[in-house]
Amino acid sequence: IKTFNFELSSIRVHMKNEKKNTILKYEGLGFLLWQSASVWQRELRRVLEPLDITHSQCFLLISIDSLSNGNIPVTQISISNLAKIDPMTTSTVLRTLQTKGLVSRKSHSDDSRAKAIVLTAKGKVLVKKALAAVEEFDATFFANLGAKPKKMHKGLLALLKD
C-alpha cells in the first residue's frame, strides 16, 4: 500500500504556527475548498507523474472512457460538458493526448463538422492504470474525513447539478 506525505487536518495548524501574526483568519467554506483542492491537485500530480499525465489529462481520459460506454460518438463538447472544463482547455488537452497517442479523432457519424474522440489501445490501458491510481489516492487523501466522505460526496454532487 502506498503512503502519501500529507495530512489535511494539519494544514491550518501548520499555517498558524508558520506565521502567527500574518495568517488569514478567514475559514469560509469556499476558501477551505480551494485550499483543499490545491493540496489534492499537488499530491495527485505526484501520483500521476509515473504515468506521464497531468490531472487534466487524466480526468479527460476518464471522461472519454465513461462517455465511450454508450452508442453515441464522443465529441469534444460532450467531454467538456461532462468534465466541466471549458471547450478551449478541453481542445488543448485533447491535442496533447492525441500527440501522446492516447486518443484519436475520427469522422463523426452524424455531424460532418465534428470529430469523434476515441481512446486508442494505449489510451485504454493507461486510463485503467490512472483510474486505479486515482481511486487509491482518493481513499488515502480523504481518509482524514473519517466516516464523512459519503456525506461530502453527496454534497459535492448537489453543487454540480445543473
The pLDDT of residue 111 is above 80: no
The pLDDT of residue 125 is above 60: yes
Ordered DSSP codes for 10-36: GHHHHHHHH-TTT------HHHHHHHH
> Is the distance from CB of 67 to CB of 82 less than 8 angstroms?
yes
Which amino acid appears at position 96 of this protein?
A: T
Q: Which of 62-71, 113-122, 140-149 has the lowest mean pLDDT?
A: 140-149
Which pTM was predicted?
0.77
Which amino acid appears at position 37 of this protein?
A: A
Nearest to 156 by CA among 40, 13, 75, 25: 40
Residue 9: per-residue pLDDT: 45
* Phi/psi of residue 152, nearest 5 degrees: -65, -45
Largest CA distance in the chain: 62
CB burial class (10 A; 0-12, 13-18, 19+) of residue 21?
A: exposed
The pLDDT of residue 129 is above 90: yes
Distance of alpha carbon 53 from alpha carbon 61, whole angstroms: 10
Average pLDDT, whole number, for the chain?
84
The pLDDT of residue 46 is above 90: yes
Binned at pLDDT 50, 70 and 90, residue 87 comes out as very high
Residue 100: per-residue pLDDT: 97
